[in-house]
Structure 1
């Protein structure tokens, strides 16, 4: 599949005949998502006619948010998706605008992604089917990809099973970065008309559940990830306990970890006290699901624990060979790592050699340094 350049300005189309992707006539909307369709590339034509997924975000002109301002916001979102490239994030093939000639107040923003043939994690949780068998390795993959995007200053804001996809290679992929936000600098406004806002009380943190309009920090991601990991762990090894947890947090629209957090803590405390199988993982989930967001561990810390084998026996079967393979080793990536490790000399060397100080994650990591490097910004 040929990829559009994701490093250039997002292209805007005004004629149907120019659109690079069209909905597949043989495929209907994906699952229960009316804004997501299967599609194929037609310009240039893909000889394999490989099916991809096309998400549509309809932006309506409002006096409070002109279309041009909304376009800039979408450009930033495209930048975030480029920065989040990883073996365990969904592959973004193209992003583009389309202004329907018959709807002057509408601008469509399209995100074209690879198709995850096996569906989302929801199908695997609690399933007895061999066709939807959970993979223990996925826990580590999710820990590592969340640590990676957090190092870049990106927070996902809606981690939940439907946003965790599985491809034909049986690899787990974090998806739906259309609602992500950069943690520093100018960010995507949550009030942008037409933007799909996250409304997932099931897995959201208590501070988000209590004030839905407030900013979701990285600690809120940790809470949501802790809930997902707990469900995966129980579904894999403790099926009776999984059913008990589902009973505690509820189902459907009433499902919520935040609103039942004391019961969830009691559930976990009993299993930690017995020091039985996976006690260390239950302890980790308990910390990730802390009521106090300041008490939750950071993703880097969780990743280090996982890789050390202190949480589970991380043998060859649990090691993921693809986790580090697709991280782009560029000057900008090295700059982020240098800022992260407080290597002031290396930061200065990379800046002199042409690394962009505005690289996603560089300013975020520089802000955490003990010694503040000069990032070339005016004071």
Structure 2
């Protein structure tokens, strides 16, 4: 860890590991608060691409600071060997834990989707695509406020620049990412739609027994609503799912359009579109 960090924070136990770094709980004697510290050992990075990725994450977090539903960056320290990013601590269970054992009602699911889409829309307004929206990266702080986290796969797309590269997680990745074509920020809307589907149905919309089978199912994009899983889900929720999990990117909703959909604006209480 960098010397500058050690002079200002007391590093405590390890609480997680990511692609490039280890996450610790740390304490600031000055503020009296605990934070999360992502410490990246630059000496073990494979190449300049990896180095660019970890530097980009810090820049992106600083750019996105200020939105209540995106994890906040507190401090950045860097020396020859380490990059240390101090962020707000989200020590409640993540969404993965919360969706593992239960099915959500429309109202409960909307209470998650509304702040999640606010976070995604904020990223898109700033020209950032997260590219790995999944329950594991949706955290909650001590006041149960949703926080979108882990921008290690995020990319800039402003000035009409499209993106390439297969990133993301099998169940949640958009079909255009897997196809190898250029894609835009709407990949995040697809991933959020998968999360919404899982919360309401208890199963993923596209699945298989291996990563290859899951990818095949995603590429087909054949969206279904099995009666046994969707008997209590409102028609308006299914309408929004069709618009988020639309294989035709030109017809897929943007994050802003999702926020303006009746299911979101009614907080999940609308039962029909009429």
Q: Which TM bucket (shorter chain)?
A: 0.7 to 0.9
Deviations 1:203-242 (A, max 9, x none): 111121233xx655211111111101111233xxxxxxx2
1:81 to 61, 66, 69: 61
- Taking a change above 3 Å as real, the CA distance of residues 207 and 229 of structure 1, as seen in their structure-2 partners, is same
Contact conserved, 1:219 with 1:298, CA < 8 A, in 2?
yes
- Secondary structure in 1 matching 2:261: helix
Give the superposition deviation at 1:112.
1.6
User: Cα distance 1:199–1:284, how it changes in 2: closer, same or farther (>3 A)?
Assistant: closer
Aligned to 1:204: 173
Match of 1:293 in 2: 249
Query: Which residue of the partner structure matches residue 217 of structure 1?
Result: 184
Report the Cα offset of residue 313 of structure 1: 2.6
Matches within 5 A, 1:241-256: 242=202, 245-246=203-204, 249-250=207-208, 254=211
Residue aligning to 1:280? 236
Within 2, Cα distance between the matches of 1:170 and 1:255? 36
1:108-147 correspondence runs (5 A): 108-128=82-102, 136-147=110-121
Higher strand share: 2
The number of equivalent residue pairs is 262
Q: Secondary structure in 2 aligned to 1:116?
A: coil
CA contact (8 A) 1:249 1:255 kept: no
Q: TM-score scaled to structure 1, two decimals?
A: 0.57
- SS in structure 2 of the partner of residue 138 of structure 1: helix
Is 2:75–2:86's contact at 8 Å kept on the other side of the alignment? yes
Unmatched 5+ stretches in structure 2: none
Instruction: Confirm whether residue 54 of structure 1 aligns to residue 12 of structure 2.
Output: no
Query: How far is the alpha carbon of 1:169 from its aligned partner?
Result: 0.7
Q: TM-score, normalization: structure 2? A: 0.76
Q: 1:253-295: CA deviations, max 9, x gaps?
A: 6397653248874523x56xx9974111112112211222222
Q: How far does the alpha carbon of each residue in 1:104-158 deviate from its partner, in whole angstroms, 9 at most, with x for none?
A: xxxx3222211111131100004259xxxx6641121112221222122211111
User: Would the alpha carbon gap of residues 179 and 278 (structure 1) be closer, same or farther in structure 2, given more than 3 Å must change?
Assistant: same
Structure 1 residue 198 displacement after superposition: 4.1
CA RMSD of aligned residues (A): 4.0
1:180 matched to which residue of 2? 154
Secondary structure class of the residue paired with 1:312: coil
Deviations along 1:296-327, whole A, 9 cap, x unmatched? Answer: 1111111112487468337xxxxxxxxxxxxx
Any conservation in 1 of the 2:132–2:188 contact (CA below 8 Å)?
yes
Which ranges of 4 or more aligned residues in structure 1 deviate by more than 4 Å?
Answer: 13-19, 31-34, 60-64, 73-76, 255-258
Q: Tell me, yes or no, if the aligned pair for 1:23 and 1:37 is still in contact at 8 Å.
A: no
Q: Can you give the 5+ residue segments of structure 1 that lack an aligned partner in the other structure?
A: 1-12, 101-107, 192-196, 235-241, 315-379
